[in-house]
Amino acid sequence: MATEFKIPNLGDSVDAGEVISVLVNEGDVIAKDDPIAELETGKATIEVPSEVSGKIVKVHIKAGDSVAPGQVALTVESDAGSDDAAPAKKAEAQEAAEDKPAPAAEPEKPSESEAPAPAPKQKEEKPAPTPQPASAPTPAASSGARTAVAAAPSVRKFAREIGVQIAEVTGSGPKGRIQIEDVKAHAKQRLSQPTGGRIAVGGVAAPPLPDFSQWGDVERQKMNNVRKMTAQHMAVCWGTIPHVTQQDKADITHIEQLRKQFARKAEAAGGKLTLTAILLKVTAAALKVYPQFNASVDLANEEVVLKKYINIGVAVDTPKGLVVPVVRDVDQKSIIELSIELSQIAEKAREGKISPADMQGGTFTISNLGGIGGSHFTPIVNHPEVAILGVGRGAQEPIWVDGGFQPRLMLPLSLSYDHRVIDGADGARFIRWISEALQEPLLMALEG
């Protein structure tokens, strides 16, 4: 029996990937979990394992193709196909049945006197108010006359969290049932290209570009997947989060001496004692003192989600663009352990071997540009987090200490935060705490 193997879910917020290489050929015999292709999914390279076994009849993808979850990759001759498919189809049928009674029952509720009158009027007046399609479901929902939308509770919750009206989404499942991928596709379409190739930022469509060639020669370069994902995500972050950036400087003269003193100990353990590794530990301590910085905003439920774990993303510059792998449970690890993990994950990112799972679950982000140079800047908060710490290059400055100027190594810090959750006074306290902890590391043990 011929079975179609389709591209599986590639991870949260990943709706497409580019085929780097196909690892099988027509006529090959494969087993379950055998890798069939390598995909670049936004900021990661992953192997796609087969979920079926048998002889490959046809390969539907090739290197360079853009593929999406649910797209057919292989046709495999397999006797197990029907058995594997049966439970899934049965589950789909049961899920579809859960929503079926609602639409059937609701149209029968209006009384006989009410039914004839409003219906013709709605038919005649519906074409006129074209600018108001989104407002229509609200009164209908309150009156109980709206047709039920077929979607699981988890899908509805996801739609609420990203600000999508579930009634506006077109479902691709059985009998129009809405899947999470449908919600993602709807959100992406609404944000990226609402009209004529215009890019929406913060709900406002950018005007179309002029013909630049009228003023001189131009060259167009196709965005790679990393750049496309970064562009889309940064537009969402900047357009939906009201940013405030607080700036300060930290005296790291003493901690730089300690870093050099213990650098060999970290190297012997397999790590590199960098300032970023130290900042991970300091920031984790600060997040314990100020937990509102380790949170997310749930506007749909009017709640702030305070996380009891501390996972910090670290921005890494790679040949393909910026990626943000996450270091987990930072508060529970020593600085040497963090230096080892940071070295390993940064190497994976630069080699393009980072996985989607490595970039998920962050609660705060650090972006250190000190290796390149510069001082203060305005980092963009990484949604759904509420704050990010930007770090510039330390420089010697004359600082007034004990009645005279002394040369001190000063580190520029830039803290951007979501003003819906964090007030300016708290922002100032947080960045001051980090500055003082870098100046006097004992503060971490005393308060963090």
Catalytic annotation present for 419? yes
3-class secondary structure per residue, the chain: CEEEEECCCCCCCCCCEEEEEECCCCCCEECCCCEEEEEEECCEEEEEECCCCEEEEEECCCCCCEECCCCEEEEEECCCHHHHHHHHHHHHHHHHHHHCHHHHHHHHCCCCCCCCCHHHHHHHHCCCCCCCCCCCHHHHHHHCCCCCCCECHHHHHHHHHCCCCHHHCCCCCHHHCECHHHHHHHHHHHHHCCCCCCCEECCEECCCCCCHHHCCCCCCCCCCHHHHHHHHHHHHHHHHCCEEEEEEEEECHHHHHHHHHCHHHHHHCCCCCCHHHHHHHHHHHHHHHCHHHCEEEEHHHCEEEECCCCCEEECEEECCEEECCEECCHHHCCHHHHHHHHHHHHHHHHCCCCCHHHHCCCCEEEEECCCCCCCCCCCCCCCCCCEEEEECCCEEEEEEECCEEEEEEEEEEEEEEECCCCCHHHHHHHHHHHHHHHHCCHHHHHHC
**Amino acid type, 88:** A
Given 60, 243, 376, 419, the catalytic residue: 419
Alpha carbons 65 and 48: distance in angstroms, whole number: 14
Q: Which of 367, 369, 383 is nearest to 418 (CA)?
A: 383
Which sequence positions are flagged as catalytic?
419
